[in-house]
Amino acid sequence: MKFSALLFVLYSVLKIASYTNSAFKKYIGKVSAKVLIKTEDGERARMFIFDKGKVSSFTGDQKKFDVALVWKDADTAFSVMSSKKKDASFNAAAEGKLKVLGMSVYAQWFEDGIKLVM
Amino acid sequence: MSQISGGHLVAKYLKEVERVGIVFTISGGHIENILDGLTQYQIRTIDVRHEQAAAMMAHAYSIYNNMPGVCLVTAGPGFTNALTGIANAYLDNVALVVLCGRHPLRDDLTGALQEMNQIDMVKPVTKWCATCYDIKRIPEYLSIAFRQATMGRPGPVFLELPPDILFVSTDEKSVALPVRRIHKTYVQPDPSELEAAARIINSAKRPLFIGGSGVRMSGSGDALAQFIDKTGFPFALLNNGRGALPDNHPLCINDGGFTGIMTGAPQADVIIAAGIRFNWVMQATKLFPDAKVVRIDIEPHEIDRNRASDVGLAGDCGLVLSKLLPLVEKQDHGEWASKLKNAYAAFLITEQEQRKNPSDPIHPNRLVAKIMEVFGEDAYYVADGGDTSYYGLAGFSSAHQAGVLIPAGALLGCLGTGIPFAIAGKLSHPDKPVIVLNGDGSFGFNSMEFDTAVRHNIPIICVVNNDCAWGMIKHSQGMSLGKDRTTCAELGMRHYEKMVEGLGGYGELVTEDADIVPAIQRSVASGKPACINVVTDPTVTSPATVMFYQNFAAI
């Protein structure tokens, strides 16, 4: 539940920032990308859709995405995503707790975008 | 009294002083006497079909042999055709000696054939340029040209030779050839700077060594090997520095392509950047804002460009690494290196699957994997194109110095470099397979050089990654303008293999995964310059395109 709630909060923050944060607005203004964040079993999943300045999101596993961040389990995902440590995601990837499917360049883009609003 | 013409004097100098073995050229009236001199002094000429290719081949020859490549072009359009190749060498910091004809001095301002101010045009893209006005000073000017091309940071030089001095003769004994001198003087940093760098290196917990073309130019393979062995730094070798240590070295992260660097650099606490510029290719260092940076560059002005260095070591890479060696401690960063490799592997799962699994249409990553299956690491690879450069960079691996070159990915982003580079590669390494992976768009620029390859029996193997479009542009436009509004981006299906067959080479069309390897094997067996035209998935977008687009989207 904590992980799903975190993803919802993240969506809310991004949505609000798309109206109020000028740096973030510029950052997402020309980009179309579908970023899926999910657990490996697909039980918890949320898609973030960026469409040239607009942010939308819905829950549930999806086949079509530009990049998918696949977490080993919800607890790991929550602990890493809510961590302030710079190397949290890196360590999770190195330890096999995070897999990035699709084009990883979008994962970097997404992470850089989050930095603008957090 | 033995007489020698100016043209023959040029050739004599090239042969006897600089030991030049090959000159890339196209014939022309203004340079006829030099061409005759090349024959007289038994210097091999590779006569191409466009001067741009001559400059590019000489550029690549310089990289493969670590000695200046020489190209000879005629005045006017011969000169202007060569300009793109010269500019490419300039931005790539490669030693290239361009010898060029010009209209006669006596005809200045008369409206002579091909009369134009070549010097002012070429000056911004050369390290040095001049016109020689005196037959007796030809060797002196050539000597300056070669020194300028090679000493300090290398670059292209341009020497204009008018017919007034080429077509006349002088007493051969009255012209002394300069003695070639390899200057052993190197710039090196102050000992206090070396000690400061060593302190940073010795304190590193998550280090990364990034080497560029300067590593290769300095011939620092041995020094680099010892440095890596002692410090235990994981490393990536980019640009023309790739292969200074083999890609399969246990600490090398080149198998991760740019993803490896993008994953590792932000986590690194110390980065040594040797012989590599912090330009757009390196994303101007935004990847590692927090790391301590030690920079090694032969050009002091590069040291703090785009990023203040914690320590800047101006000097030849090999020499600086040798000087650092006794100051650095023996370290083992194996755990960090394994962690780094595991981390970037997690980002490359999809690409690995694309390489492993057949698909219909063929995925470009799969195509690269099948090429590697045939030739392995004992081969030289070149990739040319937009998306194609990405696939080649990420998928090719070689055990050789400059074994993987991606010239279109350099600063000029110059498409059309692939075939000329491959021809120079095969001339430099005739006993090894030389393969160029060409985008279908980039194939168009210099594909007539297959005629050159056939005439001179240079059996390169060109595999066309044919998505029937300017793929990077098409997909980038799709992202920015919309997929229904792409402009000047489609090329359509063309039988490039038949074009090569028509020129006397070997050609095959491939549309299915199972046919890739047999077609390549047949092309090798043919012994001819070959083109395997492989139809690949036109919907595939490479990460490079996304980054390319994001770069503009941020403006």
Q: Which of A111, A106, A113, A112 is nearest to A35 (CA)?
A: A106
Environment class of residue B488 by beta-carbon count within 10 Å: exposed (0-12), middle (13-18) or buried (19+)?
A: exposed
Report the distance separating Cα B189 and Cα B529, nearest Å: 48
Distance from A8 to chain B by nearest Cα, in Å? 24
CATH number of B354-553: 3.40.50.970
**Do A104 and B546 make contact, defined as CB atoms within 8 angstroms?**
no
| Digitized pLDDT (tens) for each residue of chain A, 118 residues in all | 789 999 999 999 999 999 999 999 999 998 899 999 999 999 999 999 999 999 999 999 988 999 999 999 999 999 998 888 889 999 999 999 999 999 998 998 898 899 898 8
Region B395-402: mean pLDDT is 93
Q: What is the widest separation between alpha-carbon atoms in chain A?
A: 37
Distance between B488 CA and the closest CA of chain A, angstroms: 21
Predicted confidence at residue B226, as pLDDT, reads: 96
| Res B73 pLDDT > 60 | yes
Measure CA B90 to chain center: 11
Structure tokens at B454: 């056939």
- Cα–Cα distance for residue pair A103/A31, rounded to 1 Å: 14
Backbone angles phi and psi of B469, in degrees to 5: -165, 165
- CA pair distance B237, B63, nearest whole angstrom: 15
User: What residue type is B133 in one-letter code?
Assistant: Y
Q: Give the tens place of pLDDT for each residue, B89-125.
A: 999 999 999 999 999 999 999 999 999 999 999 999 9
Per-residue model confidence as pLDDT tens digits over B473-530:
999 999 888 899 999 999 999 999 999 999 999 999 999 999 999 999 999 999 999 9
Chain B residues touching A32 at Cβ < 8 A: 479
Per-residue confidence band for B182, with pLDDT thresholds at 50, 70 and 90: low
pLDDT at B30 over 80: yes
- Residue B288 — very low, low, confident or very high, per pLDDT cuts 50/70/90? confident
Confidence at B462, pLDDT banded by 50, 70, 90: very high
Task: Fill in the DSSP letter of residue B265.
Answer: G
Among B34-38, B126-130, B473-477, the minimum mean pLDDT is found in B473-477
- The C-alpha of A111 sits at a distance from chain B's nearest C-alpha, in angstroms, of 12
Residue A108 sits at the chain B interface (C-beta within 8 Å): yes
Give me the pLDDT at residue B162, please.
98
- Cis status, amide bond into B361, omega within 30 of 0: yes
Is the per-residue pLDDT at B184 higher than 70?
Answer: no
A112 touches chain B (CB under 8 A): no
**Paired residues of B45 in beta bridges:** B23
Strand order in the sheet with B530-535: B404-405, B380-384, B434-439, B461-466, B530-535, B506-510
Burial of B356 (0-12, 13-18, 19+ CB in 10 A): exposed
Is A96–B342 a contact, with Cβ atoms under 8 angstroms apart? yes
Strands (E) located in B104-240: 128-131, 156-161, 169-171, 207-211, 235-237
Lowest mean pLDDT among B18-22, B45-49, B245-249, B333-337: B245-249
Instruction: Check if CATH label 3.30.1050.10 holds for domain A2-117.
Output: yes
Residue type, B4: I
Put simply, the answer to whether B346 touches A93 (Cβ < 8 Å) is: yes
Binning pLDDT at 50, 70 and 90, where does residue B82 land? very high
pLDDT of residue B547: 81
In eight-state DSSP terms, residue B358 is -
Nearest to B543 among A96, A101, A103 (CB): A103
Please report the ipTM that was assigned to this predicted complex: 0.92
pLDDT of the residue at B361: 97
Query: What is the Cα–Cα distance from B221 to B211, expressed in whole angstroms?
Result: 11
Residue B284 has a pLDDT of 55
Q: What is the pLDDT of residue B309?
A: 93
* Average pLDDT score over residue span B10-27: 97
CA distance A97 to chain B (A): 9
Percent of chain B scored above 70 by pLDDT? Answer: 97
- Cα B269–Cα B273–Cα B277 angle in degrees, nearest 5: 130
* Among A29, A95, A100, beta carbon nearest to B347: A100
Q: How confident is the model at residue B235, as a pLDDT?
A: 97
Helix (H, G, I), strand (E, B) or coil at B509: strand
Q: Is the pLDDT of residue B542 over 60?
A: yes
Three-state secondary-structure class, residue B28: coil
> B547: which chain A residues are within 8 Å (Cβ-Cβ)?
105
Distance CA B101, CA B75 (A): 5
Fold matches, B191-344 and B354-553: yes
Mean pLDDT value of segment B380-405:
95
CB A36 within 8 A of CB A44: no
Backbone angles phi, psi at B19, to 5 degrees: 55, 40
Residue B428 has pLDDT above 90, yes or no: yes
| C-alpha distances in Å from residue B541, one per residue of B363, B368, B478, B538 | 10, 15, 10, 8
Please answer yes or no on whether B350 and A101 come within 8 Å at the CB atom: yes
Task: Please list, in sequence order, all residues whose beta carbon lies within 8 angstroms of the beta carbon of residue B418, skipping any fewer than 6 positions away.
Answer: B382, B383, B384, B385, B407, B408, B436, B437, B438, B442, B443, B446, B462
Q: Which tens digits make up the pLDDT trace of B333-370?
A: 999 999 999 999 999 999 999 999 999 999 999 999 99
- Residues of B with CB below 8 A from A95's CB? 342
| Nearest residue to B86 via CA among B156, B4, B170 | B156
Residues of B in contact with A93 (CB under 8 A): 263, 342-344, 346-347
In chain A, where the domains are located: 2-117
| CATH superfamily of domain region B3-174 | Thiamin diphosphate (ThDP)-binding fold, Pyr/PP domains (3.40.50.970)
Q: What is the mean pLDDT of chain B?
A: 94
Structure confidence at residue A84 (pLDDT): 83
Q: Which two three-digit tokens encode residue B35?
A: 């061409």
Locate the domains of chain B by residue range: 3-174, 191-344, 354-553
Alpha-carbon separation of residue B104 from B129, B158, B163, B426 (angstroms)? 18, 17, 5, 37
**How far is B214 from chain A, CA to nearest CA, in Å?**
28
Residues in chain A closer than 8 A to B347 (CB atoms) = 93, 100, 104, 107
Candidates 3.90.1170.50, 3.20.20.70, 3.40.50.1220, 1.10.1040.10; correct CATH number of B191-344?
3.40.50.1220
